[in-house]
């Protein structure tokens, strides 16, 4: 489909135009080089040795315990980024993943803490509730867009705020004080709802969240859905050209709602590895903000399941290894700078390589046109 | 065509938000570095900063103190800074070696555990965690390192080697409630809480009880800036200003803020409205921006610095006890400040209430 894809900045940004051969390799290499250079400059400016600092991060980040932490955090990032990526592929900007996963985690935790069921059923119920809540919350934005033409960017941002308020109110209704603490949380999920962890990394004292598997399955499902089904084809073609999709019989309104539902359902899973693998209760310190990180990671990963996996692991590695920085007396905010630079570097590097590709193509075409026979042919 | 325009706008907003945050982040980091570069590393805010003390301190007390901050870290002019002041004092007076780690926004429990574990494996003992968010993490990590002493501020996490430094915020708030009611000529006061969490409810409950103890019919307006998990209410002066403006417009003339960094906005609003404000945690008539400091009639002191310093001192003297230490009015852990002389005329009345709370004649509600 790439010949029909209009060569615009948006399409290049969202990875809809593929690079071939050497150029596909050049872009990420260029991005990593660029990010490395900028980060080094910042480190030098602040009187820290760049090589030693980065080596300390790599050394700490590659210990078995850190690796487990990286994979666990990356599972949540990956699910969030895939939820965003699905929307991106059809030009839907689901900025509301953050609200969707927080509300889903809260309600799923409350339901999970209120019932007792045999193990697989209990876990299944919690996951289904989470997916349903995430999908329903995103679906509001989908319906608003399809029926009333409300921009999903605006409505999902508003829904984030509403989710925060609604979540705080619901938590206040359901919360029990965490024993002896100033923290409050939902009733803890009984043992039958816990997902056993996997000793994936040899030598690590901690274990990978069992729901890491769900992240992998969602990645595979995403690929199959988009590339092997009629629905995926319709979704991609709607994203590329809505009028063309309508002309070929795609019900765009239905597509918007369904895509939002699926994206929201995936978002609903974001909090699950943490909830069923470690927290077992939604409390005041349940991690917020994964939804926004997901947007950045979707951009880094070019909305491609494999690329996003790399992006999520990289981002998570930086988050986990920032602890070592303060121990080395380097301000941990350096990690925020690195993450920002990487997003910029990826956008810029791909754009540069694309422009090089376009220029090279134009040169090739003009060479062909300026060939003696070509002149008359083109004029005629 | 319309559709295309739509997309470009969406994309633009998305990028702008993202980049806005990045730019803000970068600028903030740059400022941080500038501060660190100009001010040297640890000279700032050491209360009894005797520079020579650290070198002349006895070598016996060569403890390596590890401290993990809550979100905001050193420089929040409030809760974390108070802990930092205690740490600085310990460094200067006890000659201990210190290291500080900061929390990032929106991190998981695993990352908090990892931070404490990093300190533990790095040979730090004792280790202090600032804030209730470390509750789960410290319980786990303290079990793994039974030979290390841990302390947590504001939380009652249990463990054989965990000391809990908790405060009777409601008692201090009670006293400033008394002050507010006595100073209010319009018989109307306000309370601005940072985030709607149980910890801040204690401030609110104490303040209300204090105000009503003086004037049972006093009008009290309350407002929380944000709802959890949005903790920005502890660091957003604009929100604090808007909330306080509303209260002054509605007739209040004294507003008490328990909102951390957002309090700066409350002071601005008080200045603009010609009203009075009450600070929190630190003696804010001293720490707040000098242009607004004159509206601060008193502050509720929550002496996290004293608690942190005491704990380190006990450690060097080998007298650390696990379990809860309550820093209340009696222990001098909470109090009210008199900087600026704005409440000198009513000090006797406040002290009368203070003695009644200490003696147990008045029991202050905790809002739980």
Q: Distance between CA atoms of A287 and A316, rounded to whole angstroms?
A: 14
Question: Which of the two residues, B75 and B318, has the higher pLDDT score?
Answer: B318
Please report how the helices A212-228 and A252-269 are oriented relative to each other, as an axis angle in degrees rounded to 10.
Answer: 160
| Nearest Cβ partner for A337 among B29, B99, B226 | B29
pLDDT tens-digit profile of B296-324? 999 999 999 999 999 999 999 989 989 99
Whether A326 sits inside 8 A of B36 (CB atoms) is: no
Supply φ then ψ for residue A152, to 5 degrees: -70, -20
Percent of chain B predicted with pLDDT > 70 = 83
β-pairing, B323-327 vs B276-281, is: unpaired
Residues B252 and B184: their CA atoms lie apart, in Å, by 8
Three-state DSSP class for residue A255: helix
Q: Which residues pair with B278 in a beta bridge?
A: B256, B298
Residues in a beta bridge with A198: A208
- DSSP per-residue letters across B79-93: HHHHHHHHHHHHHHH
**Residue pair A48/A378 in contact by the 8 Å Cβ criterion:** no
Residue A177 lies in a domain: yes
- Asked whether residue A311 falls in the same domain as residue A181, the answer is yes
The average pLDDT across A126-130 equals 97
* Sequence-ordered list of residues with C-beta below 8 angstroms from that of A312, at least 6 positions apart, any chain: A74, A77, A78, A81, A297, A301
**A112/A138 same-domain check:** yes
For residues A237 and A251, give the distance between their C-alpha atoms in angstroms, rounded to a whole number: 12
In the predicted structure, residue B8 carries a pLDDT above the cut 90: no
Place of tokens 């401290």: B67
Helix (H, G, I), strand (E, B) or coil at A230: helix
Judge: A93–B11 Cβ closer than 8 Å, yes or no: yes
3-state secondary structure of A108: helix
Does A315 contact chain B (CB < 8 Å)? Answer: no
Q: Which of A14-18, A49-53, A58-62, B191-195 has the lowest mean pLDDT?
A: A14-18
- Residue range(s) defining the domain that contains residue A274: 70-329
Q: Are A251 and A82 in contact (CB under 8 A)?
A: no
**What CA–CA distance (Å, rounded) separates B35 from B45?**
13
The answer to whether position A299 is within a domain reads yes
- Residue A20 within any structural domain of the chain: yes
Q: Kindly state whether B20 is in contact with chain A, defined as any CB-CB distance less than 8 angstroms.
A: no
Q: A380: distance to nearest CA of chain B, Å?
A: 32
* Count of Cβ atoms closer than 10 Å to residue B266 Cβ: 37
Q: Is residue A190 domain-shared with residue A305, that is, in the same domain?
A: yes
Q: Is B363 on the interface with A (CB under 8 A)?
A: no
Residue of chain B nearest A344, judged by CA positions: B19
Q: What are phi and psi of B327, to 5 degrees?
A: -90, 95
**Helices marked H in A248-332:** 252-269, 272-274, 290-300, 305-327
* Residue range A175-189, pLDDT digits in tens: 887 665 677 889 999
The DSSP string of A111-148 is HHHH----HHHHHHHHHHHHHHHHHHHHHHHHHHHHHH
User: Quick check: B52 pLDDT over 90?
Assistant: no
Residues A105 and A167 placed together within one structural domain of the fold: yes
Which chain B residues are Cβ-neighbours of A73 within 8 angstroms?
A: 108, 110-111
Chain A segment 44-63 residues within 8 A of B by beta carbon are 45-47
| Overall average pLDDT of the B219-248 stretch | 90
Whether residue A352 sits in one domain with residue A309: no
With respect to residue A277, please indicate whether it lies within any of the assigned structural domains. Answer: yes
Q: Which of B24-28, B35-39, B75-79 has the lowest mean pLDDT?
A: B35-39
User: Mind telling me how many Å the CA of A189 is from chain B's nearest CA?
Assistant: 16
Bridge partners (DSSP) listed for residue B301: B281, B335
Q: Which of A121-125, A156-160, A270-274, B80-84 has the lowest mean pLDDT?
A: B80-84
Instruction: Kindly state whether residues A35 and A82 are assigned to the same domain.
Output: no
A145 and A10 in a common domain? no
Number of domains in chain A: 2
Q: Which tokens go with A323?
A: 């602890």
Q: DSSP letter string over A146-177?
A: HHH---HHHHHHHHHHHHHHHHHHHHHHH-EE
Q: Given CA atoms B214, B181, B204, B167 in this order, what sign does their dihedral have?
A: negative
Give all domains of chain B, ordered by start, each with its CATH number. 53-167+306-327 (3.40.50.2300), 170-301+338-359 (3.40.50.2300)
Question: Hey, are the CB atoms on A331 and B29 less than 8 Å from each other?
Answer: yes
> In this predicted structure, what is the pLDDT of residue B225?
94
**Strand, coil or helix: B165:** strand
Instruction: Work out the angle at residue A124's Cα, subtended by the Cα atoms of residues A118 and A130, and round it to the nearest 5 degrees.
Output: 135
Report how far residue A362's alpha carbon sits from residue B76's, in angstroms, rounded to the nearest whole number. Answer: 56
User: Residues A205-232: what's their mean pLDDT?
Assistant: 94
Task: Supply the CATH number for residue A273's domain.
Answer: 1.10.3470
Sole residue written with tokens 């002019």: B77
- Domain assignment of residue A285, yes or no: yes
Residue located via tokens 């040899």: A202
Residues A3 and A123 in one domain: no
| SS3 of residue B198 by DSSP | helix
Average pLDDT, chain B: 82
β-sheet bridge partners, residue B256: B191, B278
B48 Cβ partners below 8 Å, 6+ apart?
A: B89, B92, B93
ipTM metric:
0.72
SS3 string, B215-259, reads CCCCEEEEEEEECCCCHHHHCCHHHHHHHHHHHHHCCCCEEEEEC
The predicted model gives B123-148 an average pLDDT of 91
- Are A131 and A217 part of one and the same domain? yes
Q: Are A85 and A29 part of one and the same domain?
A: no
Q: What is the mean pLDDT of chain A?
A: 89
Whether A217 and A179 map to the same domain: the answer is: yes
Tell me how far apart the alpha carbons of residues A139 and A256 are, in angstroms, rounded to a whole number. Answer: 9
A164 is a domain residue: yes
Most confident of the ranges B14-23, B344-353, B359-368: B344-353
Tell me the C-alpha distance between B40 and B46, whole Å: 12
For residue A61, being part of any structural domain is answered with no
Asked whether residue A65 is assigned to any structural domain, the reply reads no
Is A149 touching B (CB cutoff 8 A)? no
- Split at pLDDT 50, 70, 90, the class of A36 is confident
Q: Which two tokens stand for residue A151?
A: 């921009």
B213 sits in which H/E element: helix B198-214
Task: Report the C-alpha gap between A259 and A253 in whole angstroms.
Answer: 10
Mutate to test the interface with A, among B100, B105, B110 (most CBs of A within 10 A): B110
What are the CA-CA distances from residue B237 to residues A120, A182, B252, B259 (Å)? 48, 24, 19, 9
Pair (A205, A348) in one structural domain: no
What distance lies between CA B120 and its chain's CA centroid? 25
Which residue does chain B place closest to A91, by CA atoms? Answer: B7
Q: Roughly how many angstroms between the first and final C-alpha of chain A, as a whole number? A: 29
């Amino acid at each position: 489909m790439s010949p029909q894809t209009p060569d615009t900045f948006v399409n290049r940004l969202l990875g809809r135009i593929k690079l071939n051969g050497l150029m596909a390799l050049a872009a990420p290499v260029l991005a990593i080089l660029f990010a490395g250079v900028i980060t080094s400059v910042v480190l030098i400016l602040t009187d820290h040795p760049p090589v030693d600092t980065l080596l300390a991060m790599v050394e700490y980040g590659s210990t078995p315990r850190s690796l487990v932490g990286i994979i666990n955090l990356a599972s949540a990032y990956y699910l969030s980024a895939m939820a965003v990526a699905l929307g991106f592929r059809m030009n839907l900007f689901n900025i509301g993943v953050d609200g969707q996963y927080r509300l889903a985690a809260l309600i799923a935790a409350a339901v999970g803490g209120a019932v007792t069921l045999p193990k697989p059923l209990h876990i299944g119920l919690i996951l289904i509730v989470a997916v349903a809540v995430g999908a329903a919350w995103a679906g509001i934005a989908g319906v608003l867009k399809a029926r009333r033409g409300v921009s999903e960017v605006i409505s999902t941002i508003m829904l984030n705020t509403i989710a925060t308020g609604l979540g705080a109110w619901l938590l206040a209704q359901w919360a029990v004080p965490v024993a002896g603490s100033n923290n409050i949380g939902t009733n803890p999920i009984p043992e039958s709802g816990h997902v056993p962890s996997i000793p994936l990394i040899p030598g690590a004292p901690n274990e990978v969240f069992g729901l890491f598997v769900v992240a992998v399955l969602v990645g595979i499902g995403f690929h199959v859905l988009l590339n092997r089904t009629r629905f995926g084809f319709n979704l991609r073609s709607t994203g590329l050209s809505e009028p063309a999709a309508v002309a070929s019989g795609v019900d765009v309104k239905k597509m918007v709602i369904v895509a939002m539902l699926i994206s929201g359902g995936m978002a609903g899973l974001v909090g699950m590895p943490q909830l069923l693998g470690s927290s077992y209760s939604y409390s005041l310190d349940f991690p917020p903000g994964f939804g926004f990180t997901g947007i950045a990671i979707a951009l880094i990963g070019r909305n491609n399941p494999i690329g996003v996996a790399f992006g999520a692991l990289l981002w998570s590695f930086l988050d986990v290894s920032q602890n070592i920085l303060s121990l080395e007396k380097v301000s941990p905010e350096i990690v925020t700078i690195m993450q920002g630079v990487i997003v910029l570097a990826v956008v810029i590097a791909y754009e540069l390589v694309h422009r090089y590709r376009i220029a090279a193509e134009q040169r090739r075409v003009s060479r062909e046109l300026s060939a003696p026979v070509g002149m008359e042919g083109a004029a005629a | 065509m319309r559709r295309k325009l739509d997309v470009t706008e969406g994309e633009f907003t998305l990028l702008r938000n993202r980049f806005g945050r990045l730019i803000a982040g970068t600028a903030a980091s740059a400022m941080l570095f500038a501060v660190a570069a100009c001010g040297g590393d640890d000279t700032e805010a050491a209360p009894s900063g005797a520079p020579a003390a650290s070198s002349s301190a006895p070598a016996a007390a060569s403890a390596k103190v590890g401290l993990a901050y809550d979100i905001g870290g050193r420089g929040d002019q409030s809760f974390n800074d108070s802990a930092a002041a205690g740490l600085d004092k310990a460094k200067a007076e006890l000659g201990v070696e210190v290291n500080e780690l900061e929390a990032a926004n929106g991190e998981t429990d695993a990352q908090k555990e990892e931070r404490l574990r990093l300190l533990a494996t790095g040979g730090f003992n004792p280790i202090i965690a600032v804030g209730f968010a470390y509750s789960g993490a410290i319980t786990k990590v303290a079990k793994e390192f039974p030979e290390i002493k841990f302390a947590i501020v504001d939380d009652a996490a249990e463990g054989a080697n965990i000391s809990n430094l908790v405060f009777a915020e409601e008692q201090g708030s009670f006293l400033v409630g008394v002050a507010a009611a006595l100073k209010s000529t319009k018989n109307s006061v306000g309370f601005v809480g940072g985030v709607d969490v149980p910890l801040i409810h204690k401030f609110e409950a104490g303040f209300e009880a204090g105000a009503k103890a003086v004037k049972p019919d006093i009008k009290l307006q309350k407002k929380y800036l944000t709802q959890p998990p949005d903790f920005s209410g502890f660091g957003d002066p604009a929100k604090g200003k808007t909330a306080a403006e509303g209260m002054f417009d509605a007739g209040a003339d004294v507003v008490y803020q328990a909102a951390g960094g957002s309090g700066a906005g409350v002071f601005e609003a008080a200045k603009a409205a010609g009203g009075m404000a009450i600070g929190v945690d630190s003696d804010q008539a001293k720490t707040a921006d000098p242009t607004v400091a004159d509206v601060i009639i008193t502050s509720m002191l929550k002496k996290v610095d004293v608690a942190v310093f005491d704990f380190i001192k006990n450690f060097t003297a080998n007298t650390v006890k696990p379990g809860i230490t309550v820093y209340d009015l009696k222990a001098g852990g909470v109090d009210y400040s008199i900087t600026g002389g704005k409440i000198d005329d009513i000090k006797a009345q406040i002290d009368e209430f203070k003695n009644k709370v200490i003696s147990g004649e008045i029991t202050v509600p905790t809002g739980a």
